Amino acid sequence: MKKTPLLGELTVPGDKSISHRSIMFGALAKGTTKVENFLQGADCLSTIGCFRAMGISVENHTDQNLVLIHGKGLHGLTEPESVLNCGNSGTTTRLISGILAAQPFSCELTGDASIRKRPMGRIITPLTAMGADISSINGDGCAPLRIRGRRLTGIRYQSPVASAQVKSSILLAGLYANGTTTVTEPYLSRNHTERMLEGFGAKITCDGASATLMPPEELFARELTVPGDISSAAYFITAAALIPGSELFLKNVGINPTRDGILRVYRAMGADISFLNERTVSGEPVADLLIHGSRLHGTAVGGPVIPTLIDELPIIAVAACFAEGETVISDAAELKVKESNRIAVMTEGLSAMGADVTETGDGMIIRGGRPLKAAVIDSRLDHRIAMSFTIAGLLCGEMPDIRGGDCVKISYPGFYEDLQKIVS
């Protein structure tokens, strides 16, 4: 395999976080919500499955990425007949838990082997403080969870982690609570819940890293178009930025400032990325991106930027291997509790390919510039690991043998096909 410039244009699929929320909020709104450019990833399909199981009719026109959700209002969900299956999706598990905490029924929710290892104490604690009856069935702080609906009371919660899943879970419970609910984070995480709920008619005020919700009487259906997912675009941005002679035009990419940290970091590393046609789509900032290949140098990635690029750290680690000098990633301990332990798995895989990477307690230190070669990589069925190592292969000109690479379907079912379109 030869390392060739990336040329041409591509439209990445819809944003995963926004697609999930469009189903959830659409289900809780009165009337039919129409969603265009919906992501047909397995995670978002898990969310659809859960709401169908609670009596919501969701029409998914997969050929057009168009979804119609026939919402029944805040009090329209019905008790599911069996355990809700959240698959691999942390967003589904944590956000739905906030909604379930206030329903007039009980249910259980679970997911795959990865989801059953991820920490749920971070939502159990604040939801319990609101009056919820939610417990980890095996007593290990993970799914399966049992939730018995209760009357909830609004809280002011100081979250120990910058996590949009935690924040959103609490705000969704707050839709049903007596009184207002405020969540404050150490640093602001992605704010799609705040932006979107406002579009569905809720009253939310945001102040720095705090969001306050006044419980609404009802939410109302709307039409929305999901922007392209910057987390999916990240793989092609990285390859194009690092391969000399590349010129890649990525259309319709969401550039919400709570998500665009990768662009700020790459520009600081010397990347040539420009925004064209900046606009607002369904309350979210969007642009077309033009990327030219150049030489990158190492940098420090830590502090408030971390939540704005949390899902991109595996691919940023790949980029750092091909940049000149040292890159230090810190304040990123959250990576250990994603679909896999992404600090350990990236360190192991990049080292196997010949990179100079040291794992630290909250990140990695990467000394770039060593030649990489193919190796056997176990994706741990983590979609972002599989895509990151595919790009590592493209950048070194030797494709690693990635085990379980099919897991890209979680967030980007057409990833390998799209990549083929731009490698000349």
Q: Which residues contact ligand S3P by CB under 6 A? A: 17, 20, 91, 163-165, 168, 189-190, 310-311, 334
Q: What's the distance, CA 29 to chain centroid?
A: 23
* For helices 121-129 and 164-174, angle between their N-to-C axes, nearest 10 degrees: 30
Between 153 and 341, name the residue whose CB sits nearer to ligand S3P. 341
CB of 214 to ligand S3P, least distance (A): 22
392 and 321 in contact (C-beta within 8 Å)?
yes
Distance between CA atoms of residues 345 and 336, nearest Å: 9
**Phi (first) and psi of residue 203, to 5 degrees:** -100, 115
CB of 79 to ligand S3P, least distance (A): 26
CB of 384 to ligand S3P, least distance (A): 8
Between 337 and 423, name the residue whose CB sits nearer to ligand S3P. 337
Distance between CA atoms of residues 281 and 262, nearest Å: 21
Residue nearest to ligand S3P as judged by C-beta position: 17
What is the side-by-side strand order in the sheet with 145-148? 84-85, 106-110, 145-148, 133-136
Between 34 and 190, name the residue whose CB sits nearer to ligand S3P. 190
Between 190 and 409, name the residue whose CB sits nearer to ligand S3P. 190
202 and 226 in contact (C-beta within 8 Å)?
no
CB of 241 to ligand S3P, least distance (A): 22
Distance between CA atoms of residues 145 and 136, nearest Å: 5
Cβ-proximal residues to 207 (8 Å cutoff; 6+ apart), any chain: none
For the CA atoms of 290, 22, 99, 163, the dihedral, rounded to the nearest 10 degrees, stands at: 0
Between 189 and 246, name the residue whose CB sits nearer to ligand S3P. 189
CB of 89 to ligand S3P, least distance (A): 9
Helix residue ranges, H only, 109-210: 121-129, 164-174, 192-199
CB of 189 to ligand S3P, least distance (A): 6
Helix residue ranges, H only, 54-102: 90-100
CB of 253 to ligand S3P, least distance (A): 17
Cβ-proximal residues to 267 (8 Å cutoff; 6+ apart), any chain: 273
Between 37 and 91, name the residue whose CB sits nearer to ligand S3P. 91
Q: What's the distance, CA 206 to chain centroid?
A: 21
Distance between CA atoms of residues 150 and 286, nearest Å: 39
Out of 229, 260, 288, 311, pick the active-site residue: 311
267 and 290 in contact (C-beta within 8 Å)?
no
Between 189 and 232, name the residue whose CB sits nearer to ligand S3P. 189
Q: Tell me whether residue 311 is one of the annotated catalytic residues.
A: yes
Q: Which residues are identified as catalytic? A: 311
